[in-house]
Structure 1
Amino acid sequence: MKHVPNILSLIRIILAPIFLFMYVQDELIWRSLSIAVFATAAVTDFFDGKIARYYNLESKLGIFLDPLADKFLTFAGFFCLPFLDAAQFPWWAVALIVIRDVMVTALRLYTNRKEIILETRFTAKAKTMVQMVFLYGVLLLGVFKQADIEFADSAAQFFNSGILFYAMMFVTVLTVYSGFEYLWVNRAILTSETSAQ
């Protein structure tokens, strides 16, 4: 049982590129199946943390793997978006989101290794929730738009309305802001740690 959380994190890391490869295919069947892969990976995220806390199985490896697996999955989701519509989901916005999350995740892993506790703000937690809701919604709309079903027209209207572009800008601004806030709130700890080296 003690290895289950880490195994689930590894499964998420493996599923992330599989999802990305499947979603960017032109065939509807591949894109539809990729949503199931994405959902499965998201479920592992829920259970690995729950199992680790319930059975007190948290470990240094788990502290490293869990956020890494989360970012693999999130980045895979964002990398898919420009393939749907590069005008509404520009690569520069995806790059800003990735750079922010890589920077903060690397910092957290470093400070955890040093046994330094950094404060996590509500904005950062809200950012994660907004990112995942946004990704789920857009990725599903991408499938519906391609499918020959009644909802396809509504999905196409969403893409043509420009709403998704503004939603992407909101997610990007929130993500970048939360990164700056994270650094600002923890500046005293980070400065003291740098001075001690």
Structure 2
Amino acid sequence: MYTSAALRYIPNLLTVGRILVTPLLLVLLSVQSQAGQMSAVFLFVLASLSDYYDGVLARRFGVRSRLGQYLDPLADKVLILGTFIALALEAPDLVPWWAVVAIALRDVVVTIFRSWAEATGQMLPTYRMAKGKTMLQILFLFAILVLRAATHTSPPLQEAARWILYESQLPGLALIGVVGFTLATGALYAVAPVKEQMDSE
């Protein structure tokens, strides 16, 4: 019984751990060495996996709390937006500030609409596209972090990574896709309260 009760805290502990690990990840991103960049990749993967497993364990143990519902999206925003900001500072040619601002504004707008919906007794659904948005952002960031780490290795891997990052159009096109998809999911949340209000009239 004691073990079972203790396990119920694991999902929230994973979520809090994701928040606490993020500052170290951001510091490592500024360390221009193979060890620093590879450590950043490792921490990012670890934090991203915690995002998956905290939900799995919460469902497994039947744990649903207001604290967890608040902390989980907050931890996602801290990790993802924090990494985007760090990359914008370290490599603005790869992640320009317009992309960071667009992603941040989307989160602000969705938070406002969600708060308004709850204040008026409505419940905004969680769209699969929104979950897909988080996964897409994580995959993009993971690819950029791995490629940045590869630039600190030896040829030919180093040369290939540098070509992809700084000579090809792939990172820019991928970022446009990520930002576009992110904004599209924000539009869904913006329309939902209005649609529900119209349906009820």
Which has the larger displacement, 64-73 or 41-50? 41-50
State the AA in 2 paired with 1:63: Q
CA RMSD of aligned residues (A): 2.4
State the AA in 2 paired with 1:69: A
Q: Helix, strand or coil for the counterpart of 1:164?
A: helix
Task: Tell me the CA shift for residue 119 of structure 1.
Answer: 2.4
Match of 1:13 in 2: 19
1:24-63 to 2 correspondence within 5 Å?
Answer: 24-63=30-69
Return the match for 1:176 from 179, 183, 193: 183
Task: Tell me the CA shift for residue 49 of structure 1.
Answer: 0.8
- Percent sequence identity is 30
Task: Tell me the CA shift for residue 76 of structure 1.
Answer: 2.1
- Which structure 1 residue ranges, 5 or more long, are not aligned? 193-197
Assess if the C-alpha contact under 8 Å between 2:26 and 2:83 holds in 1: yes
Assess if the C-alpha contact under 8 Å between 2:117 and 2:193 holds in 1: no
Assess if the C-alpha contact under 8 Å between 2:25 and 2:44 holds in 1: yes
Assess if the C-alpha contact under 8 Å between 2:37 and 2:145 holds in 1: no
Match of 2:88 in 1: 82
1:1-197 to 2 correspondence within 5 Å?
Answer: 1-105=7-111, 107-108=113-114, 111=117, 116-159=122-165, 160-189=167-196
- Which structure 2 residue ranges, 5 or more long, are not aligned? 1-6
Task: Tell me the CA shift for residue 106 of structure 1.
Answer: 5.4
Q: Residues 125 and 45 from structure 1, CA distance in 2 versus in 1: closer, same or farther, beyond 3 angstroms? A: closer
For residues 33 and 163 of structure 2, the distance between their equivalents in structure 1, rounded to whole angstroms, comes to: 21
TM-score (norm 1): 0.86
Assess if the C-alpha contact under 8 Å between 2:122 and 2:193 holds in 1: no
For residues 96 and 133 of structure 1, the distance between their equivalents in structure 2, rounded to whole angstroms, comes to: 18
State the AA in 1 paired with 2:175: M
Task: Tell me the CA shift for residue 112 of structure 1.
Answer: 5.8
